[in-house]
Structure formats: structure tokens, C-alpha cells
Amino acid sequence: MKNLRNSGMMLLAAFALISVLLGSCKKYETYAEQKENEVNAIKSYIAKKNIKVISESEFFAKDTTTDVDENEFVLFNSSGVYMQIVHKGCGSKIKNGETVKVLCRFEERYVMTDSLRLTSLPRYTDNMIVTNNNGTMTATFINTQTQYSQMASAYNTTSVPSGWLVPLSYIKVGRPVSETDHVAEVNIIVPHTQGHTYATQNVAPYFYHLTFQRGL
């Protein structure tokens, strides 16, 4: 656990230096210019990764699936989040009115430079408490001495980025009981409006590889 905290702090310190340098440039940009830069960065990332963007209507017509072989991502217009479902997962969805513990493994990449920001892979998890309120998901990270959260510690908040919650309406969150069972696995591109505090403050988009598993 101590090694995990130290590695997280080293990544955070390195990124803080980059943030200062970027911030000195960004302070001369208007918010409109920053948003335009973000949109262009996401478009460039999509082109670089050969992502095929599909509409929400296509996504729902295909029973809320994305073709991984075609590298499909669905764009949700209301949030600006792009999502690819790699595995829908085993078990069941989080039911209306249900509150569950969810174990997440993640890799966070800064879209502007396609560089690694934080990761819990392969051994560790960020744990969160998720509630389904009539189809609206809310969640908080658990960050204690016994359950350390990389995300909560890095961004000094237990609030889960809104973009992380988008997949939860379309996947199952269970626990594997056989070799053929998969935990839910998704890839998402999250614009600053759906991201963590740093993303919001700096108009910065992020890419996440995420897995979700129901906790005990």
C-alpha cells in the first residue's frame, strides 16, 4: 500500500510540474479557445486511434453494444462522452434504488499528449459506493487507510467523475464465478465538463480504460 501511495505521489508531482507549465500558457487563452483546443485534441485522438464513432441511435439499435473489432465508440451528445463497451460484464445491472460497492481498475491518459496520468493496473483497485436513483447514478470514492483511492488522493476529492458513471447504465456489475465470466470493461473519452476537478479547471480531456466489479 505504501509503494502504491509513493508511486501515485510521484506521478502527481510530475504532472503538477506539467500543469504549471501548461497553466502559464493557458492563462492567455479564453475559455472559448480552450474548449476549441479540447475539441480539436479529441478529434485528433480519435483519428490517431482509428476510432469509428457511432451515433446513439445506432448504439441503441444494436442493443447497446459497440463492435470492438471495428473499434466503435458511441458518442453521447448530451455529455460529450465517447464510450466503447469491451465486455458488458457478468451478474446483473445496478438496480433502481440499489446501493453497491464497486471495485474499479483504471488507466487514465491525458488526451492532449496521449500520456499516462494515473493507473491502478494491474493489482490495485479504486473502490466506490454507487447508488442508482431512478436511472441516475451517483458515486463516491472510498479513501481510507485500508482502502486507498488513487483518484481521490490525486485530485483531493472523493467525488467520482461524471464520465465514469455513464457506462453503468449499460453494463452488468457482478463477480465472476467461472472461467468464462468477464467483469465489465469499457473505454471512455471524457471531456472536461464530465471529468475530475483538474480536468474541469484546465479544460482537459482524458481517456480511461475501466473495469467494474461488484464488491462484497
Q: Dump pLDDT digits (tens) for 51-108.
A: 999 999 999 999 999 999 999 999 999 999 999 999 999 999 999 999 999 999 999 9
The answer on pLDDT for 14 being more than 70 is no
pTM of the model: 0.88
% of the chain residues with pLDDT over 70: 88
Please, what is the average pLDDT of the chain?
91
The answer on pLDDT for 167 being more than 70 is yes
Domains and their CATH numbers in the chain: 2-214 (3.10.50.40)
Residue 206 has, within 13 A of its CA and on its CB side, a CA count of: 25
Amino acid 92: pLDDT? 97
The DSSP secondary structure of 48-71, one letter per residue, reads HTT-EEE-HHHHHHTTS---TTTT
User: Among 1-10, 85-94, 145-154, which is the least confidently predicted range?
Assistant: 1-10
- Measured CA to CA, the distance from residue 91 to residue 214 in angstroms comes to 9
